[in-house]
């Protein structure tokens, strides 16, 4: 059982939904990003998604793209991203960490070496947006064998013919993208999300976490109420981009987490 599995078991026992937060590693610099990550568990975050900066983030909107650019300009690398995870593990051995990003940095490091390093650092799962199920032998299956969950995205355009393929070899949870398009777009609607979550649940026992377009505690609560939890990314990254202090960012995250946990 991975930390992700254990976290969902705990939340189910407590009758609570999950709150997942995304931050970009190294944005706007290593120290600030590290301090935010180290503060997330105490702010109520159940699972941390840690973005790995990449030069061509094709699935991300401008907010996340700019965060990645700031991180790269500040000297962020895959190795330094793993170092943030190591620093978290020095004080927290239970909160799951999912690395979210693109295949190129992993490929450049070498899949076998990356998986050894990620496992050693304390990573629990991977969400690699540009590796479709047809490429499972590249990373997904080796990651599972190494004890890491491999999380997939499902979207409003993932029809019933495609869905079984997306769910194939997926573990940990399914990340349902509530809005068609890039990150940071529009606002999520619980009314529209609910039947889609039910459709996916009819084909998997994995938890369904919903992200994109959640910016307020109320929205986090509404979305978590119709799923197994909510993800917030761009709205947190926007606070970091405008120069909010670490304590202010974590206070905002705590409000979002409280909203999701009320669901």
The single-letter DSSP state of residue 49 is E
For residue 133, what is the DSSP state? G
Question: Whose CA is closest to 171, among 149, 153, 155?
Answer: 149
Residues 231, 257: Cα–Cα separation, whole Å: 9
Beta bridge partners of 127: 100
Q: CA-to-CA distance for 135 and 141, rounded, in angstroms?
A: 9
CB 82 within 8 A of CB 124: no
Query: What's the order of all strands across the beta sheet hosting 97-101?
Result: 149-150, 125-128, 97-101, 47-51, 18-24, 229-232, 208-211, 174-177, 152-154
Residue 105, SS3 per DSSP: helix
CB 60, CB 153: distance < 8 Å? no
Catalytic sites, residue numbers: 49, 60
């Amino acid at each position: 059982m991975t930390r992700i599995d254990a976290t969902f078991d705990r939340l189910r026992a407590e009758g609570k939904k999950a709150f997942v937060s995304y931050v970009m590693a190294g944005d706007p610099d290593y120290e600030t990003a590290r301090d935010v990550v180290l503060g997330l568990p105490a702010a109520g975050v159940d699972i941390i998604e840690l973005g790995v900066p990449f030069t061509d983030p094709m699935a991300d909107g401008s907010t996340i793209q700019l965060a990645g650019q700031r991180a790269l300009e500040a000297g962020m690398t895959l190795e330094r991203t793993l170092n943030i995870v190591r620093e978290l593990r020095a004080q927290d051995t239970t909160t799951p960490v999912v690395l979210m990003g693109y295949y190129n940095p992993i490929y450049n490091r070498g899949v076998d070496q990356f998986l050894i390093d990620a496992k050693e650092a304390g990573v629990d799962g991977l969400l690699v947006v540009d590796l479709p199920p047809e490429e499972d032998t590249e990373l997904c299956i080796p990651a599972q064998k190494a004890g890491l969950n491999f999380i997939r995205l499902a979207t409003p355009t993932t029809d019933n013919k495609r869905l079984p393929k997306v769910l194939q070899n997926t573990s940990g949870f399914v990340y349902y993208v509530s809005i068609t398009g890039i990150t940071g777009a529009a606002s999520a609607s619980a009314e529209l999300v609910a039947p889609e979550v039910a459709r996916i649940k009819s084909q998997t026992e994995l938890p369904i976490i919903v992200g994109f377009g959640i910016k307020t505690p109320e929205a986090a609560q509404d979305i978590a109420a119709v799923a197994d939890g909510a993800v917030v990314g761009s709205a947190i990254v926007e606070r970091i981009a405008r120069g909010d202090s670490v304590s202010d960012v974590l206070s905002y995250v705590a409000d979002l987490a409280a909203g999701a946990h009320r669901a």
